[in-house]
Each structure stands twice: as C-alpha cells, then as structure tokens.
Amino acid sequence: MKYDDLVKQQYDDIDKLSTLLKNYVDSYRLLIGGASELYGINLVKKSDIKKAIDRVDEVGDLIDKLIDTIDRCGGAYLRYCKIKNEYITVSTEKNKIFTEIDNELNFQNSEREDDKQKDEN
C-alpha cells in the first residue's frame, strides 16, 4: 500500500471518529436536558434522576475517549500534511509557476483580441 493511500485512510478514520464524536455530544446534550427536566418534576424519584445522571457520565466518558483518540490520530495526520507542504514548497520552482501564469494570461488576452476582431468585422 502506498503511503499516500495509508494517510487518506487515516483521514477517513479521523473523519468517521469526528462524526461519531458529534453524535455522542448531541446525545450527551439531550441526556443532560432530560436529566434537568426530571429534576424539575416533583413526582420523580431521586433514584431515577441518579440513573439519568449516571447515563450522562457514561456518555461523557466515551466522549473523553474519542477526543483522546482523535488527538493521537490527528497529530500524525497533521505532521504528514506539514511535511508534504514543506516538500512542495521547497520543490516548486517559482519561474515555472510564473511562466505558467504568463502563458495563461497571454492565452486569455489573445482570445479577447480575436473576439474583438470578429465583432469589428
């Protein structure tokens, strides 16, 4: 497997972990809201509120683990991006880029001049 393919797979993994994190955070917020509503109801047993808070804590632990995993995976991916960027920056010759830009501008200008000549005729 090429290194580039490996890094793309790592990016996909990070993206999936981020989606999972978002889902857990959404669930966490809903659980907190639910626990808060239960607390406001006088007829609810304290044990039910305790169970709701325990569920919130369990999801919070999962969120912490996901964040830790993303941090570890993301660091390697970011290092790859930085090294690749440094290589491209060092390897790129400015003169070739300027020549390419000049050629494109000259081509665009020649098309406009051709269009003007057709309009005049």
Tokens describing residue 67? 């964040």
What are the φ/ψ torsions at residue 119 (nearest 5 degrees)? Answer: -65, -35
Checking if the pLDDT of 119 tops 70, the result is: no
Which 8-state DSSP code applies to residue 32? H
- pLDDT score for 120: 63
pLDDT band at 118 (very low <50, low <70, confident <90, very high): low
Mean pLDDT of the chain: 85
Q: What is the pLDDT of residue 28?
A: 94
Q: What is the pLDDT of residues 60-102, one digit of tens each?
A: 999 999 999 998 888 888 888 898 888 887 777 777 788 888 8
Quick one: pLDDT at residue 115? Answer: 62
Please indicate whether residue 9 or residue 95 has the higher confidence score (pLDDT).
9
Q: How many percent of the chain have pLDDT more than 70?
A: 88
In the chain the domains, ranked by start, together with CATH numbers, are 3-92 (1.20.58)
Is residue 53 within 8 A of residue 33, CB to CB? The reply is no
